[in-house]
Amino acid sequence: MNTISATNKTTILKKLLKFFLPILIIPIIVVVFFYHYYINTLITKGIINQSKNTIERISKSQDIQKHLKVSQDISLPNISIIDSEAKVILTNILYDQHIDIIKKYIIDVTNTKDVKLYHNKANKFMIKPIVENNKVTAFIIINYKNNIDKRLATTSQTLTFILVIVILTFFISIIFTLLFAVQITTPIKELINGIEIISKGDKTHKIEVSTNDEINILVNSFNDMINKINNHQKDIEVLNNNLTHRVKKEVEENRKKDQQLIQQSRLAQMGEMISMIAHQWRQPLAAISSTSTSISLKAQLNKLDNDLAIRLSNKISDYSLHLSSTIDDFREFFRTNKEKRDITYNELIQSVLSIVETSILNKNININKNINCNDTLSTYPNEVKQVILNIIKNAEDILLEKNIQNPTITIETKCGELVIRDNAGGIPNDIIDKVFDPYFSTKTEKDGTGLGLYMSKTIIEKHCGGELTVANNDEGAVFTIKLRDNDD
Ligand SMILES: Nc1ncnc2c1ncn2[C@@H]1O[C@H](COP(=O)(O)OP(=O)(O)OP(=O)(O)O)[C@@H](O)[C@H]1O
Ligand SMILES: [Mg+2]
């Protein structure tokens, strides 16, 4: 199981900060931007408009006295009126140096007869000529710089206050966010630690958290789940134990069954063997019998000299040796190999044929050998020989049963593969899948056990780790034994 890494532990905290920071930073940016824009644009524009309105109102009164009255009514401290000679009629703000500056602009204003704005670093003026009877009689001047400065001062005070509040809110929010995050992450960390302990194997560990909220509910559900998993695991362990016990029992029973089958098939094979031994022995026994008859006849006719007696008795002893070696072959055949041995395909085939060939040839069945591989392979020779013998005997049975013309069994080897085929017409398609099943036999007359091919497949595939398959070709059945040449 994966352990929870330290980086994961801080994820919630990070996420909260990521989420809250933009929310807090955005108002600050908005305030700063607004502050800047307001100061530079809005206030200036507003004051200019306001001053223009004032100057228009004053200029609309009909004569100088009225202008003065209107301007006094408005009681603006920054309004001045000078006559066409630049003599000051009314002023709240104009000083001599201002008058000098204004004089420079008067001619310009006179030409346009409109409100003109004059900005420099120290002053911001607005001048409008008063025209009476098509003649400029005076100029109304508003110096609105003070207005702007004052408004800026108050606005900037307000905005600074707002900014301070926003920044304070920002920091307070961060502190609250952190506190909130810590409140969430602490029980989650406790949960993660508990999960780590459980994942390391302590399934009895109970996770405790000190909160009384959804996380507590989550932890309780988790504890419940672990309990259930533990119970299920115990059930599974019990089931597993039962299953292992049953599998062991079944395997043991199967082994016994297999042993019985092997025994049964051995007995059947021994029956076959006895008939083969009979075939093998018939000729040497006849020879022994005729030699001893000849000894007895010669003795009766007094024609048995020493030389002849020795020659004939040597002959009998040779035949007896032959009989004895045949018995050795058979005995060797039934001995099971406990260990693998190196052997060539040729040796395997020769050894089977030495037992079976005479009886097959006596039944006028041809045996073709086609050995194409002289490599050795490491295997259990006697087991493989039994398989070869089973397949050859089956071919013999079917060739005789069907009374095939020119009956032939062909044994062919390529490296890693041994093929035994016959020309008896093949295995019918409806039973070809069953021939390796135990007790499957079509040999009613001969009383077949149906164990030959089953045992053969078991030997090749389970014991020797190879493969035994069957198929039909145009002439008959083709059995292929593939043996692996390895030492496992
Ligand atoms: N070369 C073959 N051609 C056609 N059919 C075959 C051939 N070899 C086997 N069979 C079929 O496969 C069946 C099963 O063979 P298997 O060797 O397992 O048992 P069996 O030969 O019938 O009995 P037992 O081996 O005890 O004599 C045979 O009864 C036969 O029908
Ligand atoms: Mg058989």
124: left (phi over 0), alpha (psi -120 to 50) or beta: beta
Predicted pLDDT at 475: 96
Residue minimizing CA distance to atom 5 of ligand 1: 427
Report how far residue 467's alpha carbon sits from residue 484's, in angstroms, rounded to the nearest whole number. Answer: 9
Decide: 187 in ligand 1 pocket, CB within 6 A: no
Decide: 443 in ligand 1 pocket, CB within 6 A: yes
Decide: 451 in ligand 1 pocket, CB within 6 A: yes
From the CA of 400, the nearest ligand is 1
- 437 C-alpha to center of ligand 2: Å? 12
Predicted pLDDT at 387: 92
Mean pLDDT by 10 residues, the chain (488 residues): 45 68 74 71 84 81 70 67 74 63 70 76 79 76 81 80 81 81 80 84 78 80 87 92 94 86 76 77 86 90 88 90 82 74 90 87 93 86 89 94 95 91 96 93 81 90 92 97 73
Atom index in ligand 1 nearest the CA of residue 446 equals: 27
CB of 142 closer than 8 Å to CB of 76: yes
Q: Could you please report the per-residue DSSP string of 239-266?
A: HHHHHHHHHHHHHHHHHHHHHHHHHHHH
Predicted pLDDT at 4: 42
**Looking at beta carbons, which pairs linking 79-83 to residues 24 or more positions away fall under 8 Å?**
79/54, 79/140, 79/141, 79/142, 80/140, 80/141, 80/142, 80/143, 81/130, 81/138, 81/139, 81/140, 81/141, 82/138, 82/139, 82/141, 83/137, 83/138, 83/139
Residue 20 amino acid letter: F
Decide: 424 in ligand 1 pocket, CB within 6 A: yes
Predicted pLDDT at 262: 74
- 398 C-alpha to center of ligand 2: Å? 10
The domains found in the chain, sorted by start residue, are 11-170 (3.30.450.160), 212-335 (1.10.287.130), 339-488 (3.30.565.10)
Question: Which alpha helices (DSSP H) does 301-344 contain, by range?
Answer: 306-334
Predicted pLDDT at 485: 67
- What does DSSP assign to residue 4? P
